[in-house]
A and B are shown apart, each in its own frame.
Chain A
Amino acid sequence: MCYNNSGTSGTAIDYISLWDEQHARSLAQKERMGEGGGKFWSNQDVVDRFVRNLITGDRSRIEGQIAGMQIPPGSSVLDIGAGPGTLAVPLALAGCRVTVVEPSVPMGEAMEKYHRVVNAPALRAIRSRWEDVSPGEAGVHDVVVASRSLSMGDIRSSLLKMDAAAKHAVHLYWFLPSPSDSGGNAELWPVLHGEPYCGEAGADVLWNALCQLGIYANVHVETKERNHRYASFEELRRDYYNRLSVAEDWQREIVDAFLLERAVPDGSGYVVPGRSRSAHIWWEK
């Protein structure tokens, strides 16, 4: 039970509102740039690159996540914002009964493909945003997972719905802000668009929001070398144009100059080196 320390805390910050406000700002900025409604995640180039990274890329992060969650085989798992099945497919292969929630149709198709290639057991798919899934539709599962998919509004309802859908444990993965290492967004956005970049709130706000809901979660912080690989400089450049909502030649020149300075060859492809910090936030019920 949560003990309400009423009247004794001088630090009543409303983290839930902080999260919702920052999400709304981020969303508004994306919409102004014509990138609202999850358009980025339905872009076929983005999906293709994610799948390629999934099949041929460095699997250490995924393996680390799966080892960190310690989900026993035979568990039922709900994976929210499963993308191309990054965790869902390996979990199904490991003997879990997996349900995914994923709004993007191309991501859903990519997961089908990935799932066939590795010959994993069938998964149940809910083609929807988590915010729009009813508790009845979501069902109750041994474990609920949401990996890098917490770009959600109304975080109170979204988190409470996750908690209610879990019998044993909830595992969330989300980035921890590190201003020097956004891979260019925070640096380039103001130069390209004349306004600061509005990212989503980080795992620190998320953890505090959970405390505010009476959920006291564990945190494990991971610092990783960024290793997302691009097949060519052209692909890298197109991804940055897309992420940064670049439309004009003068903007392309700025991005190209940035990438020529930062990107380094990696085998036959490219990576933009840097470190990123993320948090595994989990609680048992």
Chain B
Amino acid sequence: MAVDYISLWNEQHERANRQKEVWIDGRDFWEDPRNIRRFVDRLMTGDRSRIEGQLAAMQIPAGSTVLDIGAGPGSLAVPLALAGCDVTVVEPSAGMRAAMKEYREASGAPEIRVIPSRWEDADPGEVGRHDVVVASFSLGLDDIGPSLQKIDSAAKHAVHLFWFLTPPAWTRANVILWPKLHGSEFTFEPTADLLWNCLCQLGIYPNIMVEHVEKGQRYPTVEEAVADYCRRLYVRDGWQRETVTSFVRERLVQTETGFCNPGTSKTAHIWWEKGFREPDYVL
């Protein structure tokens, strides 16, 4: 009767991971300087509405200690440090850490403590406990049971997770093109519904706020869009590139500032406060 959601998550995550290993030749998406460059550019000059929405939804008081897991280029960590929070990030990618440093210095934000590690490998003693723990679009974690328990243990007051509730717009291309390019079905990471079920299974019953995302991915030029899709689809051969190019050209829509691949999706803000379940242990 009782469904083991944690095993379901782990199985789907492993399938999604395996396909990355096969096609990426061991190279991480986040180690590619081109992907990182696009992230930082968007952070500095792009539309900040999503990040502002996230910050408003979390309502973290100034002066709080915040742990940001999988902080990337500091999308949330830098604004939080600027808003007076004492921020620690856990980020395994050297490229991302360099990007965050660049972003932090350019915005004049105070020092951020950096733990250069995957969350799964981070030492709880080194991580410490923080008023608030945040993980924004960084939940592609192994062994989800212990990973989530470690997140919960690191928080004194609240935990905020953001994750895809339906696969984001760009994965539509993967669903359609992956079988043609690689001869197998595309597996997306498990979505936020399963994440919520895992948390319930662990005895944590979090709140959920659903966010409707109207905008698809945006690009300054068609070439950049094609290059991004080729990267995400692990394209290596000429014939693959042709397939992707015609797919992207068919769907791309011109906007005032460039091009956009339209498509909507939903994301979930999953959060809980710690008051009810346990006393505030001192480590």
Contact = CB atoms under 8 A, between A and B. Distances in A.
A197 interface: no
Given A2-B166, A204-B197, A211-B193, A9 B207 contact: no
Interface stretch (A76-84, A145-153, A217-225, A241-249): A217-225
Contacts of B171: 8
B35 interface: no
B12 A10 contact: yes
A220 B190 contact: no
B265 interface: yes
Given A5-B166, A10-B8, A208-B193, A219 B207 contact: yes
A218 B188 CA distance: 23
B210 A216 contact: yes
Contacts of A277: 205
A208 B197 contact: yes
B229 interface: no
Interface in B145-199: 165-167, 171-172, 175, 185-188, 190-191, 193-194, 196-197
A11 interface: yes
Contact of A11 (B12, B172, B175, B276): B12
A1 B212 CA distance: 10
A13 interface: yes
Interface string A199-225: 000001001100100001111110100
Given A8-B187, A11-B8, A176 B205 contact: yes
Interface in A212-265: 216-221, 223
Contacts of B3: 13
Contact of A221 (B172, B175, B197, B207): B207
A19 to B, nearest CB: 13
A10 B187 contact: yes
B209 interface: yes
B200 interface: yes
B154 to A, nearest CB: 21
A8 B265 contact: no
B165 A216 contact: yes
Interface string B48-65: 000000000000000000
Contacts of A204: 196-197, 200
A123 to B, nearest CB: 31
B123 to A, nearest CB: 31
Contacts of A211: 165, 193
A136 interface: no
Nearest to A279: B205
| A5, A8, A176, A219 — most chain B CB neighbours (10 Å) | A8
B167 A207 contact: no
Given A11-B194, A208-B197, A218 B209 contact: yes
Contacts of A267: none
Contact of B196 (A5, A10, A13, A207): A207
Nearest to A2: B166
B175 A218 contact: no
Given A3-B167, A216-B210, A10 B264 contact: no
Contacts of B194: 11
A220 B269 CA distance: 11
Given A7-B175, A11-B190, A207-B196, A220 B207 contact: yes
A8 B205 CA distance: 27
B228 interface: no
B221 to A, nearest CB: 27
Contacts of A11: 8, 12, 190, 194
A11 to B, nearest CB: 5
B206 A221 contact: yes
A8 B185 contact: yes
A61 to B, nearest CB: 16
A8 B166 CA distance: 11
B208 interface: yes
B266 interface: yes
B215 to A, nearest CB: 15
B11 interface: yes
7 contacts: A1-B264, A5-B188, A8-B188, A9-B191, A216-B268, A217-B208, A283-B210
5 nearest CB pairs, A to B: A219-B208, A10-B12, A221-B205, A216-B210, A3-B166
Given A219-B206, A220-B207, 12 more contacts: A5-B191, A8-B171, A8-B187, A8-B188, A9-B188, A9-B191, A10-B190, A11-B190, A211-B165, A216-B165, A216-B268, A217-B208
